[in-house]
């Protein structure tokens, strides 16, 4: 197989195998073994996640959704309405205007939510890089396979041209013999 890999490298990439990048070597090995590169890179990557990473992704997913925004507005409206009701009903407030406790809760929530979302975005960036690397390998393999097919088609076409030329030579030879035979027949008919 080692010889096949080096020959494929020279034939398809016009380079020595050892001078290729790791991705290119990987693709050449797959081609030499006639293996498929297709795989679910995201699934393999996500299987390695820890519990905390999965939770961070769920929090980031929920934190950037309409249900979260609507729930957030509902809680704020409830907070303000409850505080206002207590003020009107009993002249007491648990969070006097300008709602310092509410601001503290919101600041803490934002302070916790921001790094969680950033962790999730970093993992998304990693997944995107893995997808891009995998796409590069698949595209390179497809390009190399197409080049190999073009080479085979060119080889077949050249072989067909040789066959056509040989057939034409044979036809010309047969036509020449036929013309000579007709000349002989014609000469014999013209003899008195």
pLDDT, position 178 = 93
Tokens of 178: 């036929």
DSSP state of 64: T
pTM for this model (two decimals): 0.53
pLDDT, position 22 = 79
Tokens 């040989």 found at = 166
Those residues of the chain that have pLDDT short of 50 are 1
pLDDT, position 163 = 87
Tokens of 90: 């009993």
Do the Cβ atoms of 134 and 37 come closer than 8 Å? yes
Per-residue pLDDT reduced to its tens digit, 104-123? 988 998 898 888 888 888 88
Tokens of 184: 């002989």
pLDDT, position 1 = 47
Give residue 97's region: left, alpha or beta (phi > 0; psi -120 to 50).
beta
Do the Cβ atoms of 75 and 91 come closer than 8 Å? no
Per-residue pLDDT reduced to its tens digit, 77-95? 998 888 888 888 887 777 8
DSSP state of 50: -
- Of the candidates 116, 112, 120, the one whose C-alpha atom is nearest the C-alpha of residue 49 is 120
Tokens 């014609």 found at = 186
- Between helix 51-63 and helix 66-90 the angle, nearest 10°, is 70
């Amino acid at each position: 197989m080692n010889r096949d890999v080096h020959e494929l490298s020279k034939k398809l990439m016009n380079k020595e195998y050892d001078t290729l990048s790791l991705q290119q070597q990987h693709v050449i090995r797959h081609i030499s073994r006639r293996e498929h590169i297709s795989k679910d890179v995201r699934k393999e990557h996500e299987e390695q996640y820890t519990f905390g990473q999965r939770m961070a992704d769920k929090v980031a997913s929920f934190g950037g959704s309409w249900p979260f925004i609507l729930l957030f507005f509902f809680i704020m409206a409830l907070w303000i309405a409850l505080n206002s009701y207590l003020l009107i009903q009993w002249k007491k407030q648990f969070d006097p205007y300008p709602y310092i406790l509410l601001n503290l809760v919101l600041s803490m929530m934002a302070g916790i939510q921001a790094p969680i979302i950033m962790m999730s975005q970093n993992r998304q960036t990693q997944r995107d890089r893995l997808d891009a690397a995998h796409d590069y390998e698949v595209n390179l393999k497809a390009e190399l396979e197409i080049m190999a097919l073009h080479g085979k088609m060119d080889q077949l076409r050249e072989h067909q041209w040789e066959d056509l030329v040989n057939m034409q030579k044979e036809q010309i030879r047969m036509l020449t013999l036929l013309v000579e035979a007709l000349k002989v027949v014609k000469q014999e008919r013209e003899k008195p």
